[in-house]
Structure 1
Amino acid sequence: MEIPPPPGPQQPQGQPHGQYPPAGTGPGPGPYGAYPGQPVPPGYPGYPGYPGQPQGPDPYGHQPWGHGYSPYGGPAPVNGLAIAALVLGILCFLPLVGLVLGLFALAQIKRKGERGKGMAVAGMVLSGIGAALLALTLATGGVAGFWEGFKEGAREASEDSATFSVDKGECFDTPGGSLEGMAYDVDTVSCEDEHDGEVFANFKMADSRYPGDDAITEAADDRCYTLQYAYAMDSWALPDDVDIYYFTPTRDSWSIGDREISCLFGHVDGKSGLTGSLRQDATTLDADQLAYLKAAQVLNEAMDSVPDEEYVEDDLPGHKRWAARVSGAITEQVGLLRGHEWPADARKPVTALVGHLESAKEEWAEAAKAADADAFHEHYDKALDLTDPQRTVTARKALGLASTPPPSYEEGDGGDAGTGDGSGGSGAEV
């Protein structure tokens, strides 16, 4: 059984069926419809099509309700953009996006009659706060830190792809098997096996504009030949077929921050390779060997500071200053040798060596005071004889060091200082 609809404006309560004029037949508008015989104007209750107006009689005398209007309809939907704006505002994630979504949400809510205005406004407020905090962070250096980190990462990535580095003590092979020309990468290998090169030092040039190939090569020559003694302290132990090479920055690698020069030992022909490590320092030598070689290096460095002028006659003052440096170096060397407690089998040969060095010191001191080139030659020849490498062989054997002088010493390359055809020379290493 259907429940009759509630009384509408076209059927007041208490009005008997049949007495109410049918829709559209009554007179003009009145409290309950049109007057008898008057048509009902459009838009008034009782006019066909008016919202909620019954459309025809049913079997029980009631007119059914239409479906065009529902006085008890559900609530309007919530706007999706408003929800999104609120979520982004709460999370402070992409604050500017949350702010824009809130603005679009308000426009849609107004146009469609949807709910969610409060959520849209709240999301806009929170997004505005997030945007303000982001701007403050960027203004106080956050962006600078981010940018610096980005640049550093990019630089490291560029260096990794454009340069390579080798560490002190590493042995390696080059892809082409040669230490000459350009190198873009190397393969680290064991020093016990055959290898193309062994790194004995690394140093960096000043961080400035690219100085040019010649300047870089000159820096490598100067530093590498000096730094070799800290790694291979006993120059007598270096094989005769070993030479010094180096890896240097190119113009392109310099532009991305490459400043490192690597000093290398390699075969004199740059291709044949080496076998076994050439390292002789505190990691491979005992305390007595270190003490002897450190004392010897004092004299060797002074001998290597010989003037550029080949003939004493061309630079007598420079050679006299050099002789004074050598005399002072011998004084220091003798002090180091006397100050060390040598093992029993090395005491006698070291003491004998000290006696020769004492005599040589006096001759170098006299050469430093020479009035002319002839007087300089006289004392220099005696001094050089007293520092002949052969005088150190017995002490070296007792200490377990290399005891065969390099061929250049045996041939006298470190010897005659201006005997008419010779240069000042660099003297002999002990």
Structure 2
Amino acid sequence: MAIPPPPGPQQPEGQYPPPGTPPGAPGSSPGAHPPPYPHAPYPQGPYPQGPYQRGAYPQDPYQQGQSPYAGPYRTWGQGYSPYNRPAPFNGLAIAALVLGILCFLPGVGIVLGIVALVQIKKRGERGKGMAVGGIVMSSIGVLLLALMVAGGGGDIWSGVQEGAGTGGSAFSLHKGQCFNAPGDTLEGLAYDVDTVPCSGKHDAEVFAATTANGDSFPGDSAVSAEAGDKCYALMDTYAMDGWAVPDDVDVYYFTPTRQSWREGDREITCMFGNTDKQGTLTGSLRKDATNLDADQLAYLKAARILNRAMDSAPDKAYVEDDLPGHKKWATRVSRALAEQAGLLRGHTFAPAASGRVAAVAKNLDRSRKEWSKAADASDADTFYRHYEKAMKLIDADKTVTTRKALGLATTPPKYDQGGGGDNGGEGGAGIEV
């Protein structure tokens, strides 16, 4: 399983892909309007992400003939292509399986199987299934010989379970688990991982599992692109409060290889990891119905409605290039704002937060009216004018006190203007498993 994600920047929470900037911005040419996105990230939702674009944004937008307001996005998927080199089978694992099948020297088969499991874990070799199979079959032989010895069979089986459970397979990782990867890196090949408590230091935390589409293997790039799309879409179902996710955390994933695909593997495992190759995670990033209270959950669920409408912005960055597309987008955003405000008003918040939430809903109403006017705009200038007013009404600073009253994170995420992680790391790599 595995593959790195497709190269290209991914926009983090609240930074929406620009349709253009206000007329007269530095670097804009006469008669053209660069993207109008000088605003702070939308504060309430976790991961609004605009169109999924490939490639890296330039370090200096002026040198590329673009407006700085278009803003480079944070890179969410810059990995590399690993080499698909199958690991060798462990010789002791093969021997243990043979002895187990023949029921010859069952005690030796058990010992060889357990030693093989230890070697496989250290060396990254294949053959764990053969070692476990050899242990099981040899244990049956021992049990047949020790039926008269009370408890002997149970002790042997306990040893088998302990030996086989020394590490967690990447194929069996599930939502909410944390683990350390081979070599403490989330890049390259992996045949096994060590699951550890999320409360301590760890390399990654699994936040979702999904399935790749198709009957035949579509190629590494296609599987990686599909994994990136699906994992980024699932982030806010696990880490609903995006402000609580550290700036040096990115998305990684396990994906099937050509070889594992032939064996029926279709699983994509989505996880959070540190963009710094020397960094680790400490504590769980989970913020969902399992640990949020009713008020926090209602607030973040309402915010998600708008985030996903924002994500549906047209591919064309300039309004002049696709005015009809941007007007349809404005209509979707306007409707989302109405739905979000309705959800906030439909929930009874605690007295300490109810007044502040009501103020947020009022700003959503005012912003919705501006988006509606942008949707009816007859030209790009009119669209920009209403768009700017609409975005100011949902500025991040306007919800900090509300978030504080609800017990949510109050520091907006930082955004790297160079198109990469804040620490210069490359996020979004995958592991071959």
Q: What TM bracket, shorter-length normalisation?
A: 0.5 to 0.7
Deviation at 1:314, TM superposition (A): 1.5
Aligned to 2:377: 370
Following the alignment from structure 2 to structure 1, what is the Cα–Cα distance between the partners of residues 168 and 232? 30
SS in 2 for 1:407: coil
Residues 169 and 193 in structure 2, CA contact (< 8 A), matched pair in contact too: no
**1:162 CA drift (Å):** 9.4
Structure 2 spans left out of the alignment, 5+ residues:
1-128, 134-166, 420-433
User: After superposition, where does 1:8-407 map in structure 2 within 5 Å?
Assistant: 164-407=171-414
The verdict on how the C-alpha distance between 1:161 and 1:397 changes in structure 2, with shifts beyond 3 A counting, is closer
Q: How far 1:161 sits from its partner (Å)?
A: 12
| Per-residue deviation, residues 96-151 of structure 1 (Å, max 9, x unmatched) | xxxxxxxxxxxxxxxxxxxxxxxxxxxxxxxxxxxxxxxxxxxxxxxxxxxxxxxx
Deviations 1:311-344 (A, max 9, x none): 1212212111111111010010011000001100
Structure-2 separation of matches of 1:180 and 1:327:
42
Q: Whole-Å Cα distance in 1 between the matches of residues 415 and 378 of structure 2?
A: 31
* Structure 1 residues 403 and 368: CA distance shift in structure 2, 3 A: same
Give the secondary structure class of the aligned counterpart of 1:361: helix
TM-score by length of 2: 0.57
Q: CA deviation at 1:163?
A: 6.5
Aligned twin of 1:115? none
Deviations 1:278-327 (A, max 9, x none): 00001111111000000011111111221221212122121111111110
CA distance in 1 between counterparts of 2:359 and 2:349 reads: 13
> 2: distance between equivalents of 1:161 and 1:361?
49
Question: For residues 316 and 182 of structure 1, what CA distance do their matches in structure 2 show?
Answer: 46
For 2:197, the aligned partner's letter is S
Hey, which bits of structure 1, 4+ residues long, moved more than 3 A? Answer: 160-163
Q: Does the Cα contact within 8 Å between 1:204 and 1:261 map onto a contact in 2?
A: yes
TM-score norm. by structure 1 comes to 0.57
Aligned to 2:76: none
Output one character per residue of 1:162-210: Cα deviation in whole Å (capped at 9) or x when no partner: 9733110000001211001222211100101110000000001235000
Deviation for aligned residue 1:347: 1.2
User: For each residue in 1:357-413, what CA deviation from the matched residue of structure 2 results, as whole angstroms up to 9, or x when unmatched?
Assistant: 10000001111111111111011000010111111111111110011111239x9x9
DSSP 3-state at the match of 2:207 = strand
Structure with more relative contact order (C-alpha pairs < 8 Å, separation 6 or more): 2
Give yes or no for contact 1:171–1:198 (8 Å, CA) kept in 2. Answer: yes
The SS at the match of 1:403 is coil
What do you get for the CA RMSD once the two structures are aligned? 2.3
d(CA) in 2 for partners of 1:284, 1:270: 29
Native 8 Å contact 2:168 2:192 kept in 1: no
Does structure 2 conserve the Cα–Cα contact (< 8 Å) formed by 1:162 and 1:253?
A: no
SS state of the match for residue 188, structure 2? coil
Q: Distance in 2 between matches of 1:349 and 1:377?
A: 29
Instruction: Evaluate the alpha carbon distance shift between residue 338 and residue 251 of structure 1 in structure 2; reply closer, same or farther with a 3 A threshold.
Output: same
Structure 2 distance, partners of 1:286, 1:355, is 23
Alpha-carbon distance in 2 for matches of 1:363, 1:162: 52
Structure 2 distance, partners of 1:179, 1:333, is: 37
Cα pair 2:169 2:192 within 8 Å, conserved: no
Q: Distance in 1 between matches of 2:229 and 2:257?
A: 18
Partners of 1:196 and 1:271 lie apart in 2 by 10
Counterpart of 2:210, as a letter, is F
Equivalent AA in structure 2 for residue 287 of structure 1? A
Between the aligned partners of 2:381 and 2:415, the Cα distance in structure 1 is: 26
Letter in 1 for 2:222: A
Q: Distance in 1 between matches of 2:189 and 2:213?
A: 22
Within 2, Cα distance between the matches of 1:270 and 1:231? 23
Instruction: Provide the rounded CA distance (Å) in 1 between the counterparts of 2:275 and 2:375.
Output: 37
How many residue pairs end up in the alignment? Answer: 256
Determine what percentage of the aligned residue pairs are the same residue: 58
CA contact (8 A) 1:306 1:319 kept: yes
- Seen in structure 2, the aligned counterparts of structure 1 residues 203 and 271 have a Cα distance that, compared at 3 Å, is farther
Question: What letter corresponds to residue 355 of structure 2 in structure 1?
Answer: K
Structure 1 segments unaligned to the other structure (5+ residues): 1-152, 414-430
Shift in CA distance, 347/250, structure 1 to aligned 2, threshold 3 Å: same
CA deviation map 1:65-115 (0-9, x unaligned): xxxxxxxxxxxxxxxxxxxxxxxxxxxxxxxxxxxxxxxxxxxxxxxxxxx
C-alpha contact (below 8 Å) 1:180/1:270 kept by paired residues = no
